[in-house]
Amino acid sequence: MKMYIRSSACISPQYSLETKKFFNLRISPEADFIKCREPDYDLFVDPKMIRRMSRIVRMGVAAAITCLREGGVEMPSALITATAYGCLEDSASFLRRMIEFEEKMLSPTSFIQSTHNTVGAQIALMLKCHHYNNTIVHRFFSFENALIESDILLSEGNTDILLGAADEFTEDRHRILSRFGLYKKQGQKTGNFAGEGAAFFLLASSPGSSPALSISRPEMIFLPENMEETGAILNKLLRENGLTKNDIGLVLDSTTGNRTNDLPARTVLDQELKGIPSFPFKSLCGDYPTAVSFGVWMAALILKEQRAPEWMKDISFPLQHILVYHHTGASHHSFILVSAA
Amino acid sequence: MNPGPYIAGMGIVTSLGFGVESNLQSLISGEAGIGKMQFLQSAYRDELPVGEVKSENEQLSQLGNLPGGWPRTALLSALAAREALDQAGWDKKNAPRTGFISANTVGGMDRTENFFRPYIKNQDRGRLADVVYHECGAITELVAAQLGIRHFVSTVSTACSSSANSIFTGARMIRSGQLDFALVGGADALTLFTLNGFNTLMILDKELCQPFDENRRGLNLGEGAAYLLLCSEKGMDALKSKALGRLSGYANANDAFHQTASSPEGTGSFLAMKGALEKAGMEAADIDYINLHGTGTPNNDIAEGTAIRLLFQPSFPKMSSTKSFTGHTLGASGAVEAVYSVLALQHGLVFPNLRWQTPMKELPFKPVTALLKDQKMRHVMSNSFGFGGNCSSLIFSAA
Amino acid sequence: MDNLKQKLKEQIIERLNLKNLKPDLIGDDQPLFIEGIGLDSIDALELIVLLQQEYNIKLSNAEDGPRVFYSVSTMADFIRAQSGAVKIPS
């Protein structure tokens, strides 16, 4: 089933809501993390409802509403949300109090707001949407799995599927993951840094406005035995979409500057995608498990506008196919094709 | 009618015991698994009855030949998943297109709680090994790797409807030709986080719960894991074993009323049940038994009961809540009750709604209160309704 | 000027995250739930925790909630009665 992107919206550390500025400015952190540029949420949500929404929920809701507005749809026929960490701030808050107060005098609000399906639930509540609603919480493949589910829903005759992903930065998440040695050291100019974001897409089985943008089913591999296996799924993706490597004008990859983590992907980039301009999308959104959704949003924008950010050199236009390559070390590799008709 | 994928195997671990056979025997003998807290170290251990799996983590590891240090949810998941695969005679060599779609809500929270205690006093403290498997998806990946499944692996987390959703996600992937086999279901271990969370909502019963009773006071929490191995026609032929039943209908709807409470008319529940019937190409009258979501909270039971009244009147199928046996196993409940629904079909049984005394004045029906045998069972409906308005309904049919 | 009522209004606004409200916008006798301020069942639970933490009063029966939390005045009366300062008829 061919999937079309009717509209999309993204809250990220870049000017992703003000897309005209997105191409000219590149915000890079000095620290080892970057946080989103957030809108005034009062413009999106009724104050009575906003008080129950933690930051990640606001990000998700604002991105979802913007996406629906741009797509001219009031009520999606299905709502699928992807997140790896869920509502971290509220989880940590409840956990802390539970330990500090020895299980006494605990507040219900942070517990209620901590469940992983809260983003999807709040969007449904706002829209009064009774339709299909699911939440995928599967680490680095949360977005890809949700995209596969969208594909199935479309092939079953649904249309106007609202698909989104969100993961938030919190102090606790950062402190703990830093202890695992994931991020660049103080003063280092290059290297991995933590990020966050929310990206939503309106998917349909027929194109909307011009240019028509389509997105493929993802090809994924979990725990590949070697990078040849990864190469094989890339070739499968191209074959199934009637394309060869020569058709790909741009690769957006997940390299971060962390040499060890990047090595398996560099092998694939060198062996399979040599000569094709390739740029790391995480240099804009930072590192978080569902960052691939930012990569896809960015690919869609580049194809729609037929131009690339100033710092991405040597890309030939007109551009028809962008390959989004999402990878984490050697354990998770996926490929998604975003194309202009 | 829409036959849907076959069920080739089942596996389960709950407070009723390890394995399908132990659970069935307890359901038949009317012996509940809910009782005094033995394993969870909570300040409420003398106050709140729970449905615990009666083993420490070490014993669970040994039982399943699993590595030490796994979160409890992963241990329960692996045990139940293994049973389902073995019962079906599944062999990874002959089943390349197998998916594992599991559900949970707590992830590795039991280990995270251990980390947070020293961490909140000093941010450089806490063992990192305790948070490596914090995420819901990490639990699924641990078990997938253990089982040797990597073709397609996913995790669903929609509160109490989680494993009902993971079950029918697998069914759709088989129907769309993407998988030949789908190991589907879920797991959730009891944790202090969830116990205290539910306690703040004041919906826990200090006595053993009484679902669908006029004087019900709330729910008892439980823990467990359950899986079904679904397969296509082709997959069934390859296994050369007998199908236990079929998943013929399913649907998912959202109540969109409130973050935690259900709408009084049970809108989400109504739409989910109606949708499942439509998917199955059935009428309400085709359902022989409903395994109720029936948590025992004042809110759920009236919302679910109202939705059933509206959809099924004037004649109602037999119904009961097996949460009166196991407690509410949260992310595992959809799958646990799916297994019980298939057992009901296979053996012609309707399990009792334990401890029921007084009919709910708003409802023109009451649950079954004693075990019924030799029932003609063609189709069983199983409901799972959760926080966030996520409502799902499954229909199982005889093989 | 009732200091307890003023304090309660500030505490309600803070605990329930009612950022757009100021204490003088909450009438002493204005219904807090459904109409009026529009609080819901989760807010009721939060107010129970508020009573425990700030006033050391445990409301163990949730059914007393609607009566006790009807308005800021009824909350103040309840707190005073529990502290033994004033006896109110049930």
Interface test with chain C among A45, A46, A52, by most C beta carbons within 10 Å: A52
**Cβ–Cβ of C45/B202 closer than 8 Å?**
yes
| Buried/exposed A5-18: b ≥16 CB within 10 Å, e otherwise | bbbbbbbbbbbbbe
Domains annotated for chain C, with CATH where assigned, are 3-82 (1.10.1200.10)
| CATH 3.20.20.70 holds for B6-239 | no
Rounded to two decimals, the pTM is 0.96
Three-class DSSP category at A287? strand
Confidence label for B106 from pLDDT (cuts 50, 70 and 90): very high
Confidence label for B332 from pLDDT (cuts 50, 70 and 90): very high
Of B20-29, B211-220, B345-354, C42-51, which range is least confident? C42-51
DSSP string, B175-188: HTTS-SEEEEEEEE
Hey, what CATH topology would domain A3-204 get? Peroxisomal Thiolase; Chain A, domain 1 (3.40.47)
Three-class DSSP category at C39? strand
Q: How far is A121 from chain C (nearest CA, A)?
A: 16
- What pLDDT is stored for residue B2 in this prediction? 56
Look up the ipTM and state it: 0.97
Fold match between A3-204 and A213-340? Answer: yes
Architecture of domain B247-397: 3-Layer(aba) Sandwich (3.40)
Residue type at position C77: D
- What pLDDT is stored for residue C89 in this prediction? 53
Q: What is the mean pLDDT of residues B209-222?
A: 98
Backbone angles phi, psi at B348, to 5 degrees: 65, 40
Confidence label for A189 from pLDDT (cuts 50, 70 and 90): confident
pLDDT of A127-161, one tens digit each? Answer: 999 999 999 999 999 999 999 999 999 999 999 99
CATH number (3.90.1150.10, 3.40.47.10, 2.60.40.60, 2.60.40.10) of A213-340 reads: 3.40.47.10
Domain ranges of chain A: 3-204, 213-340
Q: For residue B322, give the DSSP letter.
A: T
Q: Interface partners of A (3+ CB pairs, < 8 Å)?
A: B, C
**Cβ–Cβ of B44/A96 closer than 8 Å?**
no
- What pLDDT is stored for residue A73 in this prediction? 96
Q: How far is B206 from chain C (nearest CA, A)?
A: 12
Task: Tell me whether residue C58 is exposed, middle or buried, using C-beta atoms within 10 angstroms of its C-beta: 0 to 12, 13 to 18, 19 or more.
Answer: exposed
pLDDT at residue C62 greater than cutoff 80: no
Domain ranges of chain B: 6-239, 247-397
Interchain contact B143–A (C-beta under 8 A): no
Bond into A211 cis (ω within 30): yes
Question: Across the strands, what pairs with B98?
Answer: B181
pLDDT above 70 as % of chain A: 100
Question: Across the strands, what pairs with B221?
Answer: B328
Q: Interface partners of C (3+ CB pairs, < 8 Å)?
A: A, B
Tell me which chain B residue has its CA closest to the CA of residue C59. B202
